[in-house]
Chain A
Amino acid sequence: MGLDRRGFVKIVMGGVAGTLFTPVIWQGLDDTSIWSQNWGWIPRLNKGEVKATSALSKLCPAGCAVKVKTVGGLPFAVVGNKDNTMSKGGVCPVCAGGAQLMYSPARVKSPMKKVGEGKYEAIKWEDAEALLLEKLTPLKGQEGKIAAISGDETGTANEVLSALLAGLGSSAFYVMPGEMFTAGKGVKLMGGSGQPGFDIEGADLVLMVGADALDSWGTTVANQKAFAAARPTGKEAAAQYVYAGPILNNTASVCDKFVPVPPTATAAFCLALANALINAGAVSSASDFAEYKALAAKFTAEEFEKTTGLKPEVLADLVARFKAAKAPLVIAGASFGQGAGALDFVAAASLNVLLGRVGQKGGMTLLPAAPKAIATATDRENAKDAASFLASVATGKATPGVLLIYEANPAFALPQPAEMAKAMGNIAFKVSFSTYMDETAALADLILPAPHPYERYDDAMNPYGVAKPTYLAGKPVVAKPVMDCKDPMDVLLAAAGKLGLSLGAETYADAVKAKAKAVGADFDALAAGGAWTGEPKSGSLNLGAAALAKAPSAKLDDKTVAFAPVTKLAYGTANLATPPANTLVVRDTELLGKDLFVQMNAATAKKLGVANGAKVKLTAGSGEVKALVHVNEGVAAGTAAMLLGFGHSAWDEYTKGKGDNIYKILTVSDEAGTGLKVWAGSTVTVAKI
């Protein structure tokens, strides 16, 4: 039987029709689609019970009280804890990616000993602890020979560290720069004592001078919650917010008013506002009011215009807002959380005194000294700054034999970091207690891995900015740390025991529990997500007129501009490079490839002869950074702004070599009258390349 044309067409048509009706083709296509996406290297999800455990997430400087969600015991996400009176269910962007940071490629995996320039070998914990003891023992009883730098502002770890040093005969305990340090000095200049607090929640007008209170200053999440409560969605706002600072930052973006004040003119701005308020009838019963009034009188509207580049109408508008407010509050702070002089603090804080807002609801408060867990520990008020210490090491004035570094990265996060790193080279034995391989760990002789916050006991006493005494504590979320690490304080307390010292605690958990007891809090309730709060102390402040009389004013020439470092919490902190889960948040007008941008307004760009997108070099002191220009009208007159926290040489592939470290061009000067090291009013020269 032959196959004719008709027969052939029938077979083909039958075949086509058959394929339409058989599921084989469609099932095959579907399977192909599924299986072509089902490769072995596509990660599978973890299974198990999903739980949420309370934790104190000290990844951000203030610490967020959060709940860590786990699946089968493995942390995977962080959500807010609504029951905590400080965080009130909020989470900052750093803590939001906290679970992923447990597995950061930058984590130090085990103790390491330096065996050559940039070369390390992993060692056992017993060998590491023996080595530490061997180095500490001969220096016992020699003042200044054992030093410590802490980058933790709030933990009882500071008490353990400073008490250990005191027991070993050394008072060389230093802290990394921060608002808390400067503000404490400022309060003393105003005739008071204690840590200042700011009752944002109770205020109906909040003027933030420099302080980036809704993004990176103080207890960010608590501040944001206070802001949110005062601005209910869809209803009338109950409080006004005004930001006065060098750049239209995240805080300023939601404020009712942004006042662009160059970073070199903070004190001048505050005194001009004081003058305008006094002219509008403000009087104070402070003992130095007459002196203050005379000083403020020099800051006329013309002077204001000259120093800030702003029209006098701006002052009139602010005065009108203050007059209309029942509970105004002025928050004093550096726009990037550090490096401001005490005088900038005094200038802004004095407005609270002038307006009679100290100790009032919605005003500025003073916190009493917190009870200590370890009696021999250094009082927080007497803390000394790490920048001055390393400067003394550089000149040979200080000659420590061992330096213990805890939660700090001085080789990156201090002005002129190359000089700081060089100074550290003068110290024979440096021990870095660090969770991550940061620039300072990379210089250390012994690296002792510290647990991630979800793997350890820790606490936070009076995070800077809180209006009343506040204490938080937490315990580990996971049964076992991901890496071979030990709590630094456990290591030091064990060493203390072997050196014949008794600090009253065997482990850091004991010390934290002792602190809770001393404060009068229930540790278990705190670890379950609670917060302890007390009452601020009474006491008054003067206007700090004597100190303010010495406030300097910067002189800028044609090629020099004021330099404003900018911080964004999402991009990391002084102790933390941008977390892998946050690199996406960085804008391409801030970092592009490996180039960081310098932001300036069109008038400044014109004055400097640079255009949008131009590559420029910024220099100050011996430092230099390269950047691309981004014209941004939100930058104050005569000011260049750049992001802080980029340009790491250590960490991981997500951050290493991205951008430049602008600490290189922050120049340190001694503040007139206080002798403090300051760098918030740095100036830079900008040149096209």
Chain B
Amino acid sequence: MSHGAQKEFKVTWGMVIDLDKCTGCGACMTACQVENNIAPMLDASNKMRTLSWMLVFEMSNKKAAPEAEIAYLPRPCMQCGNPACVPVCPVVATEKNEEGGIVSQIYPRCIGCRYCMAACPYHARYFNWEDPIFPKGMEKALSPNTSARPRGVVEKCNFCHTRLMKAKDKARQEGGNPEALADGAYMPACSEVCPTGAITFGDLKNPEHKVYELAKSEHAFRLLEKLGLAPQVYYMSKREWVRKLGDNYAAAGKAGAEKKHS
């Protein structure tokens, strides 16, 4: 895929995350870690070394109390329509060519050069500095859905891709259409666990899926929209300062509005 070209898919899996409902509780991060077999780290405060496929950022309106406000922003991989990471990979270890638009990460092909990490403006990619060492016995609690990755490869959120495969299998077994899954038939772990239902997941192109309308809301926006990467993850907030901070290009204009790119 050449840079600048946006590949279109009939099905486009995406999220709309309601930031006015995210309490920052961290359940999505834990569920993600469990689903994707991310080994616990001895010093998890060293954020240069941790692996957080889903990371909840804290945003502040920078005002003094009592006008101070904060918002939490869960950040999975944006599964960009026009990903910056894909064209820079020298070994084609990351691609965007599967129906659904999920950007893949093929660990056995990855040579750990980290070009993709440098390219990703969302910091959604992580390098395995260590082998996945689980405390003795905890490997018995590994999820069967994601292989453990060795030291030296880059990894990232893939919208719990195994769940998509399983949902398609289930549809086939039940005589349904695997390319037109019902709303909720496929859901990543973060979206499933979120206790306030802040993360709505579905096919952005299917009018029967909730995300179809939500992504068009006047309160919806995408992170760093000015870069033209067309993320498949949308956010929404009724708070203007949140929308402006999420897309700093919009600071001068109407937040969340469609941008023209040079």
CA distance A147 to B165 in the complex (A): 56
Q: A77-B35, A592-B45 are in contact. Are A585 and B56 (CB under 8 A)?
A: yes
**Known A-B contacts A77-B34, A253-B71, A584-B41; A228 and B197 likewise in contact (beta carbons under 8 Å):** yes
CB distance from A52 to the nearest CB of B (A): 12
Contact of A254 (CB < 8 Å), options: B21, B143, B152 = B21
Q: Which chain B residues border A117 with CB–CB below 8 Å?
A: none
- The distance in angstroms between the C-alpha atoms of A75 and B22, with both chains bound, is 28
B69 within 8 A of A: yes
**A582 near B69 (CB under 8 angstroms)?**
no
A254 in contact with B34 (CB, 8 Å): no
List A59-97 residues whose CB lies under 8 Å from chain B. 71, 74-80, 90-93, 96-97
A286 contacts chain B at the CB level, 8 A cutoff = no
Complex Cα distance, B186 from A610, in Å, reads: 51
* Known contacts A593-B45, A653-B42, A103 near B192 by CB under 8 Å: no
Question: Contact between A254 and B42 (Cβ–Cβ < 8 Å)?
Answer: no
**With A570-B30, A633-B64 known to touch, is A43 a contact of B141 (CB < 8 Å)?**
no
Interface residues on A, range: 35 or more
Bound-state Cα–Cα, A47 to B146, Å: 12
Contact residue among A33, A253, A586 (Cβ-Cβ distance under 8 Å from B23) = A253
Among the listed stretches A134-142, A359-367, A634-642, which one makes contact with chain B, having 4 or more residues with CB under 8 Å of it? A634-642
Question: Are A41 and B42 in contact, CB atoms less than 8 angstroms apart?
Answer: no
Q: A458: shortest Cβ distance to chain B, in Å?
A: 20
In the assembled complex, how far is the CB of residue B131 from the closest CB belonging to chain A, in whole angstroms? Answer: 6
Q: Is B124 an interface residue (CB 8 A)?
A: no
A163-171, A183-191, A219-227, A413-421 - interface stretch: A219-227
Stretch of B94-102, B107-115, B225-233, B244-252 with 4 or more beta carbons under 8 angstroms from chain A: B107-115
Instruction: State the 5 A-B residue pairs at the shortest beta-carbon distance, nearest first.
Output: A585-B26, A90-B195, A580-B40, A583-B44, A570-B26
Q: Which chain B residues border A233 with CB–CB below 8 Å?
A: 16, 18, 21, 197-198, 200, 210, 214, 236
Write the residues of chain A forming the contact surface with B, with a CB cutoff of 8 angstroms.
30, 33-34, 37-39, 41-48, 50, 71, 74-80, 90-93, 96-97, 99-100, 102-105, 214-215, 220-221, 224-225, 227-228, 231, 233-234, 248, 250-254, 258-260, 310, 314, 482, 568-570, 579-589, 591-593, 601-603, 633-637, 652-654
- Complex: how many Å from CA A569 to CA B43? 20
Ordered by A's residue number, 12 sampled pairs between the chains whose C-beta atoms are within 8 Å are: A76-B34, A78-B34, A100-B138, A228-B197, A253-B23, A253-B69, A254-B196, A258-B66, A310-B66, A584-B41, A585-B56, A636-B65
Contacting pair B139 A43 (CB below 8 A): yes
Cβ of B180 within 8 Å of any chain A Cβ, yes or no, is: no
B178 within 8 A of A: no
For B27, give its contact among A48, A482, A570 (CB under 8 Å): A570
B6 CB to closest chain A CB (Å) equals 26
Cα A225 to Cα B194 in complex, Å, equals: 10
Residues of chain B lying within 8 A (CB to CB) of residue A585: 26, 29-30, 56
How far is the CB of A579 from the nearest CB of chain B, in Å?
Answer: 8
What is the distance, in angstroms, from B218's C-beta to the closest C-beta of chain A? 10
Q: Which residues of B contact A (CB under 8 A)?
A: 16, 18, 20-27, 29-31, 33-35, 37-38, 40-47, 50-52, 56, 58, 60, 62-66, 68-72, 107-109, 111, 131-144, 146-150, 152-153, 189, 192-198, 200, 210, 213-214, 217, 219, 236
Which label, helix, strand, loop or mixed, suits the secondary structure of the B interface? loop
Q: How far is the CA of A215 from the CA of B72 in the complex (A)?
A: 13
A601 to B195: give the CA distance in the assembly, Å. 30
B242 to chain A, nearest CB (A): 11
Contacts of B65 in A (CB 8 A): 248, 260, 601, 633-637
Interface centre among A90, A259, A637 (most CB of B within 10 A): A90
Q: Is A96 in contact with B44, judged by CB distance below 8 angstroms?
A: no
Partner pick for B140 among A46, A251, A637, CB 8 A cutoff: A46
